[in-house]
Amino acid sequence: MRTLQQLWLFICILGIFQVSAQTQEYYQLKTYSFDSEAQEKRTDDYLKNTFIPALKALDIQNIGVFKPRPTAAITSKQTYVLIPFASLVQFRLLDDALATNKTYQINGKAYLEAKHDTPPYRRIESTLMKAFIEMPRMQASKLDGPRKDRIYELRSYESATEALYKKKVAMFNAGGEVSLFDKLGFNAVFYAEVLSGANMPNLMYMTTHANQETRDLNWKAFVDSPEWNTLKAMPKYQNTVSKNVTLFLYPTAYSDY
């Protein structure tokens, strides 16, 4: 529909203006879970050949697609898709824009019209986030080494209460954690507050490292740094994290970074 296309264009222009003014971006992290390799392959085909091209046609760029690094603790198949949005309105209009995209509907037919007894995934979990004020825009990783060696570390810090959660967010921003990570070369992709998700109150962030050895050395430098040891001893930042969930991921061949 011409009206919807015009509205999308207006939202994109508005989003560009907002980003130029350093307004914080929004992120959606979609986690696909699978029961079989056939499901995973069908969803990979859809993401690579239909979904991501359709988003790029709408000027949504720097889309990350990741999978867990194999470990004894990982027993299920999953794919993580990280999508940046200039505004909540842009996020809200995405499904409507895709619904009127004939190319998207035709190319994605095998996925979009899958039968009830042959679904392309088990479940999709969606987490909506807002970027930290100290890093208002996502920075796609600049790593150029072999993808098979890269460590994309996705962390979720849960807090016991909303008040403690806000203090942990402040610890990253005003407290200087973001600056320290930057100083030590953690190559962060994003830091964000979770607005809607399964484990609230929590924040999430992603850092990237050339390989496991580099990741371990970076974290040792962080733990040993005078800045961190001063910061973590401050009474106002005590007991702000009740649970830390860490995932080691690698980018797919069709991920933007």
CA distance 137 to 27: 10
88-99 and 2-20 helices, crossing angle to 10°:
150
Compare 13 and 157 and report the one with higher pLDDT.
Answer: 157
pLDDT attached to residue 192: 98
What is the residue range of 207's domain? 132-251
Half-sphere exposure of 25 (CA within 13 A, CB side): 22
Of 9-13, 135-139, 198-202, least confident by mean pLDDT is 9-13
CA distance 84 to 29: 9
Determine the straight-line distance between the first and last CA of the chain, rounded to whole angstroms: 33
Mean pLDDT of the chain: 92
Q: 108, 129, 150 — which closes off a domain?
A: 129
User: Which helix (DSSP H) or strand (DSSP E) does residue 190 occupy?
Assistant: strand 190-196
**Distance set, CA 188 to CA 135, 180, 184, 200, 237 (Å):** 9, 11, 11, 22, 22
> Residue 9 pLDDT more than 90?
no
Same domain as 227, residue 136: yes
Same domain as 177, residue 105: no
Same domain as 117, residue 6: yes
pLDDT attached to residue 145: 86
Same domain as 180, residue 136: yes
Same domain as 173, residue 107: no
Pair 39, 121: CB distance under 8 Å: yes
Same domain as 140, residue 227: yes
Q: What is the pLDDT of residues 113-141, one digit of tens each?
A: 999 999 999 999 999 999 999 999 999 98
Q: 129, 147, 165 — which closes off a domain?
A: 129
Q: What is the pLDDT of residues 24-50, one digit of tens each?
A: 999 999 999 999 999 999 999 999 999
57 lies in a domain?
yes
Burial class (CB in 10 A: 0-12, 13-18, 19+), 249: buried
Kindly give the residue spans of alpha helices, DSSP state H, lying in 47-199.
Answer: 52-57, 88-99, 102-107, 109-112, 162-172, 177-183
Number of domains the chain is built from: 2
Span 76-95, mean pLDDT? 96
Q: 101, 129, 157 — which closes off a domain?
A: 129
Q: Report residue 43 as tokens.
A: 């969803």
Same domain as 161, residue 202: yes
pLDDT attached to residue 148: 87
Same domain as 123, residue 141: no
Compare 115 and 18 and report the one with higher pLDDT.
Answer: 115
Cα-to-chain-centroid distance, residue 134: 17
pLDDT attached to residue 147: 87
Compare 185 and 15 and report the one with higher pLDDT.
Answer: 185
256 lies in a domain?
no
User: Which helix (DSSP H) or strand (DSSP E) does residue 222 occupy?
Assistant: helix 212-224
**In which band, very low, low, confident or very high, does the pLDDT at 19 lie, cut at 50, 70 and 90?**
very low
257 lies in a domain?
no
Same domain as 174, residue 78: no
Same domain as 96, residue 122: yes
**In which band, very low, low, confident or very high, does the pLDDT at 142 lie, cut at 50, 70 and 90?**
confident
Percent of the chain predicted with pLDDT > 70: 90
CATH number at residue 224: 3.30.70.100
23 lies in a domain?
yes
